[in-house]
Amino acid sequence: MIHFTYKPKNFKQSIPWQLAKNQTMTLMPLGDIHFGSRGFPEKHLKDNIAWALDRGMTFVGMGEYCDMASASQRQLLGQLRDESRAELDVMMKDKIDQLFKILEPTKGHWIGLLEGDHRFDLTTGTSIDQYLCKLLDCPFLGTSAMIRINVGVKNHPEADTILYVHHGIGSSRTAGGHLIQVENLMKVFSADIYLMGHSHSKTGSPIDKQCISPDGIHYHRTKILARTGAWIRAYISSSPHDLNEPVILSRGSYIEQKAYTPAALGGIVIGIGYEQVNGSKYYKPALHLSL
């Protein structure tokens, strides 16, 4: 697990957008992009990025940026000769270069990038995700990360927001079921925001924990649990193809084949700020979730 303190940068907002009290940062998790997948919604992603940058947002990468190898596929690829692996390196880096053309306006706006299930390790021992981090000028967060977001209230670290991010595990056929694995994190990690991707669901829930400040004042501290959405089209339709055309053109994605519920494309936004506890000299995070 990676851990560090992040000081929000003052990105210019051409369109002012406040969600939380004394907001110091607006966070947009961005993952499960699956660039290169069939029917990839490139324009929708570009429009979303432009919208976010107009509002001065900061991004955190939730893994699975390209539609790359699963664990079983990586085992097969590992059996290739070194020369073949080197050729694959070139192909995979080219794919990341194509994705970077879309993400380039976000360079410097990232807390960091997690890796996900669909990944690829280069013959150098580094990964495609690390290569993307170099292009976007941000840290590589590995499997999971716990990050203190320093909101800048001097001598009041309790005002800071603690962020825990993990690519994600599990899935569900119900909206509420997607959040069970995220809620379980509260048993292990003491954070204010808990984020997971992986299941492609775009759903979240604020939960108020009951707390006592060091000077004895009872207050509510809002926690945010969320699955961070995806950019893969579950169902792609067409009229019947010619019977001489490849059958793959008529075959649905794995989501369609298993009759899964399609997730709404896109992600979530979280406003991060701070406020003083009523009747106390201490502070708490001010958080707002927008789906």
SS3 per residue for 145-178: EEEEECCCCCCCHHHCEEEEEECCCCCCCCCHHH
Per-residue pLDDT, averaged over 143-149, amounts to 98
Across 102-260, where does the E strand assignment appear?
A: 110-114, 140-142, 144-149, 161-166, 193-196, 202-212, 218-228
Average pLDDT in the 17-39 region?
95
Residue 264's pLDDT is 81
CA-based torsion, 93, 33, 228, 74: positive or negative: negative
pLDDT for the residue 62: 98
DSSP strand pairing (218-228 vs 269-276):
unpaired
- pLDDT band of residue 72 (cuts 50, 70, 90) is low
- Please report the pLDDT score of residue 220 as a whole number: 97
Checking if the pLDDT of 86 tops 90, the result is no
The pLDDT-based confidence of 69 (bands split at 50, 70, 90) is low
Tell me the average pLDDT across 93-100: 96
Higher pLDDT, 65 or 70: 65
2-290 CATH, one of 3.40.190, 3.30.450, 2.60.98, 3.60.21: 3.60.21
8 A C-beta contact, residue 152 and residue 7: yes
Rounded mean pLDDT, 222-247: 93
